[in-house]
Amino acid sequence: MRLPTATSTERSRPWRGIALAGLLLALLLATMMLFAAAAGASTSEAAWTTYHGDATRTGNDPQAISPQTPSLAWQSPNLGAPIWSQPLVVGSRVYVATVGDDVYALEAATGQIAWHASAGTPVPSSKLPCGDITPTVGIVGTPVIDPATGVLYAVADTWNGNQAQHVLEGFRLSTGEKVLSTVVDPPGADPMAILQRTALNLSGSNVVFGYGGNDGDCSVYKGAVVSVPESGAAPSYWQVPIAAPSTGGGAVWSTGGPVVDAVGNVFASTGNPNPPSGQEATTYDYSDSVVELNPALGLTGFFKPPTWQHDSNADLDLSSAAPELLPGGLVFQAGKTGVGYLIDESTLSSGAAEVFSGKVCAGAGSFGGDSYVAGVIYMPCTNGTQALAYNAAARTFTPLWQGPKDAFGPPIVSAGLVWDVASGGFSGGGTKLYGLEPASGKVRYTETLPSPAADHFASPSAGGGRVLVSTGSTVSAFQVGTVIASTAPGTGPGGTALPIGTTVHPPSTFGVLVKTKLRADRKGRVRVVLRCPPSTASCHGSVGLAALLTTHIGRGSHRRRATVRVALAHAAFGVRRDQFAVTLHLGKKARALLRRHHGKLHVSVTIALTNVSTQRVAASLSG
């Protein structure tokens, strides 16, 4: 699996309008502005607990913020070794891990170190048979935080003087205390031949991640997905069953890593097999594919590209990018070929064919992870970030725009803009952060990073009105907006109560959710009544429904509440006028979630009006 450069292959180089804002009561608008000016800080709990923000990798900043001209808020102290992962955010702290096997908690307001913990001795780069991470290989994949337990998990590549070993380490968010240490090398694997490059994820109470090979594919390995119980029980493994004449390959290596749906099923992309020189792979073996695994890592489905044999033997594998789960039960996947696929989850069990495919990235490759917000897929391309309009009803996508050619990294969305790092291409060392207009891809802001990014698939993260970038051996925070909404459903500025069931009159550019009391019938149908904004004669767009589930993180005096979003349903609508209704259909998983919560959920309704506005409204759902 070689990158399209003279010197590369990559498993170690991996890489989902206006600010989203809740509708505000007209009589509270002046109060809101005074509160925001006086507070000057977040009134809600920042939470970016995994790569691209959530288990499905939407890449969307979950807070409602008012945009502002970006400014460098802080740069952390030197943390001793390069950072090849995204910073994570919970509340008032930022968490980051280095290839020196160190984990740090930083104060989100200042960037100063709150605590530091060691995950072991990293592997000297010179001891590995090949690779491009220097000077040591330690924690490479983005960690994951479990808000329910208040623990951060990271996979550390460790060195005991003559041999490497991969260990899943757990650290308490409040203090850095180590609470878990489990060896996670797959059975039969040579720890020197594999690289844990993917971001970690959560499937229930299990930590999930993938393995590939080092840059150069110099040794024999098999791509793998691992699931490790947070309890410390024995890990489970799924390894690509590589078929002869190949002896290895099938890497699970994109920076986005496995994605997880609402019930814990795992979706991962795999790389090409590695046949001996002069021979070709001819037998299908789940390499160069998308695979679906159940929570126990049993293989339950797969997608084989129609060009599998050619792509596998030309090193044009899918696993340069991670899958993206979309509303409507579809999976989007692109890789090195310049083709994007929409795959129906319901047909994976029989070996899915694409529902739709089309040229993306102008035929160039995609590396890292996508984002998805309000009907638009934002994907990384080697020739500049691309936006695709996703039509859930027609089950198609249409290219919208491509950004600057050097906007190479995986994008995210925050403060009403698409943020991307010009990461320096396959050589790394990028020095620019772009803020792009979501409707056109035009550059609104170009910020100079205070230090170059080490990771050539660098992707920002967000929280508390800031965009965060790993800049070499430091973290840099750019203030891009002011948080003006509470995470608690049904509240306004500063926690002011907005009674559920009342009609809300927003600014004239926003659509209106006429009633915030929603009900699902026995077939899972939810009727949502909307009204076009007074400023437009007609409107069209989409509406989405997500559950707001409350959990607690930390212990004792550090224990605090956090809100997790779970997508329930989504529908697009054509040109409408005045007041109209849209019917959303809850799937089996969404209906089961509603039943588990005794037929009552706090929900968020996202109203996305094409070329007008996007916002979220708190509501309740019963059924």
Q: What is the pLDDT of residues 127-184, one digit of tens each?
A: 988 888 989 999 999 999 998 899 999 999 999 988 999 999 999 999 999 999 999 9
| Mean per-residue pLDDT, 453-467 | 93
CB 468 within 8 A of CB 513: no
Least confident of 27-31, 186-190, 365-369: 27-31
Mean predicted confidence (pLDDT) in 348-377: 91
Closest CA to 141 of 242, 67, 211: 211
Q: What is the pLDDT of residue 611?
A: 67
pTM for this prediction:
0.74
- Looking at every residue in the chain, the average pLDDT score rounds to 84
State how far the Cα of 52 lies from the Cα of 61, in Å rounded to an integer: 9
Say what the pLDDT of residue 289 is. 95
Q: What amino acid occupies position 252? A: V
Q: Return the pLDDT at 561.
A: 52
In angstroms, the CA 311 to CA 333 distance is 15
Task: Report the range of poorest mean pLDDT among 53-57, 492-496, 544-548.
Answer: 492-496
The DSSP output letter for 410 is P
Q: What is the pLDDT of residues 591-613, one digit of tens each?
A: 999 998 989 888 888 888 876 66
Write the CA distances from 363 to 5, 152, 317, 367, 509, integer angstroms. Answer: 16, 38, 14, 13, 37
Tens of pLDDT, residues 85-111: 999 999 999 999 999 999 999 999 999
How far apart CA 144 and CA 167 sit, in angstroms, is 14
Give all strands of the β-sheet with 65-75 in edge-to-edge order.
65-75, 474-483, 466-471, 461-463
Least confident window among 14-23, 55-64, 213-222, 438-447 = 14-23
Residue 397 has pLDDT above 90, yes or no: yes
- Kindly tell me if the per-residue pLDDT of 461 is higher than 90: yes
Confidence at residue 13, expressed as pLDDT on a 0 to 100 scale: 31
| Sheet of 432-436, strands arranged across | 412-414, 417-422, 432-436, 443-448
CA distance 411 to 408: 9
Tokens linked to 155: 């996979």
Residues 407-451: tens digit of each pLDDT: 989 999 998 899 999 987 787 788 899 999 998 999 999 999 999
Do 211 and 226 contact (CB within 8 A), yes or no? Answer: yes
Q: Could you report the per-residue pLDDT of 289-312, keeping only the tens digit for each?
A: 999 999 999 999 999 999 999 999
Size (the chain), residues:
623
Q: Kindly state the average pLDDT of the residues 80-89.
A: 96
For position 263, what pLDDT does the model report? 85
